[in-house]
Amino acid sequence: MPKQMMTFCHLLEIIGLIYDRADNGLEGNALRKIRVLLVALAEEDRQWRRKLTEELERESDIEVIGTAPTVEEAIKEVNDEAVDIVLVDAGVSAGEEQRARAVREMGIRRRVRLKTIMLVSNADREAILNGFLNGAVNALDRSKTGDIAKAIRDAYANRSAIHPDAAEIVREELQLMTLTPMEREVYRLKCKGFSKRQIADRLFKSENTIKTQMRSIRDKLPTWG
C-alpha cells in the first residue's frame, strides 16, 4: 500500500478516535474542555448551584469558569474569558425581563454568537418560550442536573436536540398558533378550570358563543379535552 494511503487511513483512524471520545465525554489530547459560565440570576438555592457546579466539574470535558450573579458581571466575564456555553439559571425570583435580557445580551457580546441554555423552575412555560425567542439554543428544568451536561455537549457540538421539557412546550405553542386570539383566551381559561359560564362572564360573551369557540378549538386541536 502506498505510503500516502497509509497516512490517510491512519489520519481517519485518529479522527474517528477523537469523535468517539467527544461523544463519550472523554478528553483527548486534541480536545479542550468546554468552558461554561453559569449566570445565576436567582438569589435562592445557592446550595443547588454549588452542587451543579461540582457535578459539572466532575465531567472530564467540562470546565465551569465562573458564576455571575448579575447580567452586568456576566457580560464582563464573556468579554474577558473564552466562554463556549452560558447557562442562565432563571430561578423563580428572577424577573422575566431579567431572564430575557441575560439570554439576549449573551448572544451579542462576542463576534461568534454564544450558545445559551436556559435553566428554569418547574418547566416554566413562559420562561422557556421567552428564552427561545431571545436566542437560547435549549431549555430544561434546573432540577434535572443529570441532563444538563448532555445539553452542554449537544450545544457545543451544534447538535440541535431540544430537551423534552422544552420540546413539548414548543410543540404545544406551535399548535396554539392556529387559534384566533379569542380562541386562545378561551383555551387558556378552560385549561385553568373555568366553566363555560364563567368564561362567558369573564369575556363578556354569551355561553353559546363560548360553546362555538370550543368546538372550533377542538377542530383545530383534536387531542384537546
Neighbours of 19 (CB within 10 A): 13
14 has a pLDDT exceeding 50: no
Query: Rounded to a whole number, what is the distance in angstroms from the first to the last CA of the chain?
Result: 68
| Same-domain check for residues 47 and 156 | yes
Query: What's residue 63's pLDDT?
Result: 92
| Same-domain check for residues 37 and 108 | yes
Band the pLDDT of 168: cuts 50, 70, 90. confident
The domain total for the chain is 3
Q: For residue 100, give its domain range.
A: 32-165
Instruction: Report the pLDDT averaged over residues 181-197.
Output: 91
pTM for the predicted model, two decimal places: 0.67
| Residue from 161, 160, 159, 184 nearest 172 by CA | 184
CATH number at residue 207: 1.10.10
| Residue from 78, 88, 132, 71 nearest 110 by CA | 78
190 has a pLDDT exceeding 80: yes
Q: What is the pLDDT of residues 122-136, one digit of tens each?
A: 778 888 888 888 788
| Same-domain check for residues 46 and 111 | yes
Instruction: Report the pLDDT averaged over residues 40-44.
Output: 65
Counting Cα atoms < 13 Å in the Cβ hemisphere of 161 gives 12
181 has a pLDDT exceeding 70: yes
| Same-domain check for residues 210 and 146 | no
| Same-domain check for residues 41 and 92 | yes
Contact 162, 170 (CB under 8 A): yes
| Same-domain check for residues 53 and 101 | yes
| Same-domain check for residues 52 and 145 | yes
Q: What is the pLDDT of residues 146-162, one digit of tens each?
A: 899 999 999 999 887 88
| Same-domain check for residues 101 and 152 | yes
Band the pLDDT of 7: cuts 50, 70, 90. very low
